[in-house]
Amino acid sequence: MVNLTQYEIDYVKKALGRDPNEAEWKTIDALWSEHCSYKSSKIFLRSFPSEGKGVIMGIEDWQDAGAVDIGDNYAIVIKVESHNHPSAIDPFNGAATGVGGIIRDIISKGAKPLALLDMIRVGNLSDNKNKWLLKNIISGIGFYGNSIGVPVVGGELAFDNSYSDNPLVDVACVGIVNKNKIKPSIVNRKGLKIVIAGLTGIDGLGGASFASRKLSGEDEIGAVQIADPFAGKIIMDVTLEIQDKVEAIKDLGGGGLAVAVTEMSNGLGVVVSLDKVPLRVKDMRPEDILVSETQERMLYAVKDENVQDVCKAFEYYDYPCSVIGEITGDGVVRFTYNNKEIVSLSSDLLLYPPLYAWPIEEKKESNEVKPNIEIKTAIEKILLNPDLVSKEWAYSQFDYEVGTSTVLKPGMADSSVISLPNGKLLAIKGDANPDLCEEDAYECGKYIFAEAYKNLASVGSKGIVAVDHLQFGDPKRPEIYNDFVESVRGIGEAARFFSIPIVGGKVSFYNENKNNIPIKPTPLIVMAGLIEGKLLKPRIEEGNIVILGYTRNEMRGSLFSKIFGKYGNIPKSRLQEDLLASEITLNLINDDKIYFAKDVSRGGIIGSLMPILANSYTVSIDTSKIIGTEDIYAKLFSENSGRFVFITSDPFSISDLAKKKGMIASTIGKVRKGNYLEIDSLKFNISHIVDHYYNYLRDEIE
């Protein structure tokens, strides 16, 4: 079975002047899958700014990751990927192989992986299947990351019914490399030998095609790869050892050999003998060898005189290594088996499938519901929401300090921080906001890019590079495709405003369950930045609470609206305010004026106070001091952008600096020892909320 449209089938037959055989159909199916070809998204992705200061490798066809110069002859390499469909079928192996795949993307550039982020979204935990999915996803991530020795230093964990049966499992990785030794994933001359390391099996058959269609509810377990982190460690170590002996490196990921060989050959043409591919299972069909996505395999383009040295390095570990082909220069991709040519297709046909721009249609406006709920009840429901609880249950299963580069442990701040070999500190963060994207994907695209920028600023870092992951349902559905197009427009606008290049990314369509119910639109931004001044290690102490920025009645897409009904305006991302607020925050950190900083986002001001309350402190807030809207719900729960919450002993200096920068800051309350939350005349004990904050996940899942 191939996942091609009738138009594509007719297109291929006309281009070839014949009917392809089974092996050729499978090759085309893999190369033309949404997962590999981006045929429904590429024309819009071209609008992203991928060039800029320090960019060494940006968004380029068939490169496995992007790279940015950070000085001292070093570059960071960064990539984000997902394993959504596999994790829905086999959450342990699906999540584990997602980690393995992203690590191989990093080492394909010759870079040493330094840290992982995992961004996970599942259905509500009232459903036992969602509990099973989450438990095994976390186990799979921990199993692979801990075994291979790359720390998981942070991420996200959020819940929504739209992810029931279709969880999102995003993994990002950052690595370090000498900028003069970055390896391409493609070749530019003929005569190079194609070398494969690793065994090919029957797991992961047709995985790229599987990821490019809706979940059917049928048994698709064969499309899920099996994780082997110990083999992955060998691949990682040897690849870094032999990088000077190879001309190009490519991970065998989606589409297996068919895709990796075709993309690496870069249109020059290649011939590969499938007989020479080391197999895990005897008597595999050549068609299956072509598209198997067995993990822990790597492809190398090698000069003839270096082949022996490359394979000798693997022989030390008794790890399979074999020369399977050669770059020909004739523009044809050929696969042979038993001295018989079973695939002969032009590179251009495989690499340049038809591109699509599907019809779009804006969503209909939903009805507004003006809430009528007591403030205390609203506060409790917000603070008890699973999105705001401690994620310690998940982080505790990851060895986040392996490699000794972790500076801020997961959950300590809004961004993770690692140390680099040149002594610099790098902050990284991933952000998404599906509730806002469901309301307005364009504003959401700007919002999540700006939020990532602000999260980096909250620890003292300025963003320098980003990657994206765009996750939606069926692109042929006009409302879904409109969300995709609008989110791309918003992300691109924000990236240009902040002058931050997007050097790579991923598009994942067809995220729908067996009942054709799509996920909420979930574009994701992962951003990295250097700490050029001081690092803020957040600490909770007695002091003044200061809000930087103007609070607006922009409640749509907020956690409050999700719980109590939609009302208010859609947040407008005022990027100038986000930039100014971030610059002020950096100045305050470098001048030692604050000891806690958090951008106002999920849950509004009340959500931003949760880390303070969780440390057994009393928070007193005077809402009349919150500058902006007079709506009490919006004062406390609006998630409009351009704002930070600080704890400080010197509130006047913050107000003065904000005024000089054209912003506003106001002292709205105090922090002192205790277990109470005081909002105006309202005072209540929050011991039960703190207990829920620390124990919810463990109690629900274990």
Place 675 in a pLDDT band, splitting at 50, 70 and 90.
Answer: confident
Domain contains 650: no
- 469 is an active site residue: no
Q: Sign (positive/negative) of CA torsion 392, 394, 395, 398? A: positive
Domain contains 317: yes
| Binding residue ranges for Mg(2+) | 81, 105, 251
- Residue 203: predicted pLDDT: 74
CA–CA separation, 10 and 12 (whole Å): 5
- Residue 683: predicted pLDDT: 93
Domain contains 415: no
Pick the catalytic residue from 35, 469, 688, 692.
35
Q: What's the rounded mean pLDDT across residues 416-429? A: 94
- Residue 208: predicted pLDDT: 47
Domain contains 278: yes
State the CATH number of the domain containing residue 220.
Answer: 3.90.650.10
Coil, strand or helix: which one is 585?
Answer: helix
| Binding residue ranges | 38, 79, 81-85, 104-105, 225, 251, 468, 505, 508
Domain contains 313: yes
- Residue 221: predicted pLDDT: 45
pLDDT for residue 404 is more than 80: no
- Order of strands, sheet of 55-57, starting from the edge strand that comes earlier in the sequence: 55-57, 66-71, 74-82, 168-178, 112-122, 152-159
Q: Report how far Cα 640 is from the mean position of its chain's Cα atoms.
A: 23
Q: How many domains does the chain have?
A: 1
Residue that has been written with the tokens 């290049």 in this structure: 501
- Residue 401: predicted pLDDT: 72
Domain contains 64: no
Pick the catalytic residue from 83, 469, 688, 692.
83
pLDDT in tens, 182-215: 999 999 999 999 999 999 998 756 544 444 445 5
Place 282 in a pLDDT band, splitting at 50, 70 and 90.
Answer: confident
CA–CA separation, 685 and 469 (whole Å): 41
Residue ranges making up the domain that contains 223:
1-31+183-353
- Residue 215: predicted pLDDT: 52
Which residues share a beta bridge with 122?
Answer: 159
- Residue 515: predicted pLDDT: 84
Q: Are strands 617-621 and 502-508 parallel, antiparallel or unpaired?
A: unpaired
- Residue 211: predicted pLDDT: 46
Q: What's the rounded mean pLDDT across residues 230-256? A: 93
Q: What's the rounded mean pLDDT across residues 363-382? A: 87
Domain contains 319: yes
- 692 is an active site residue: no
Measuring CA to CA, how many Å separate 122 from each of 86, 180, 518, 609?
Answer: 14, 41, 13, 25
Domain contains 337: yes
pLDDT in tens, 332-358: 999 999 999 999 999 999 999 999 999
| Binding residue ranges for substrate | 82-85, 104, 225, 508
pLDDT in tens, 442-461: 999 999 999 999 999 999 99
Name the most confidently modeled range: 219-228, 292-301, 490-499: 490-499
CA–CA separation, 297 and 17 (whole Å): 35
Please provide residue 544's backbone torsions phi and psi, each rounded to the nearest 5 degrees.
Answer: -100, 145
Q: What is the mean pLDDT of the chain?
A: 92
pLDDT in tens, 631-666: 999 999 999 999 999 999 999 999 999 999 999 999
- Order of strands, sheet of 416-419, starting from the edge strand that comes earlier in the sequence: 406-408, 416-419, 425-432, 522-530, 462-471, 502-508
pLDDT in tens, 511-551: 998 888 999 999 999 999 999 999 999 999 999 999 999 99
pLDDT for residue 175 is more than 50: yes
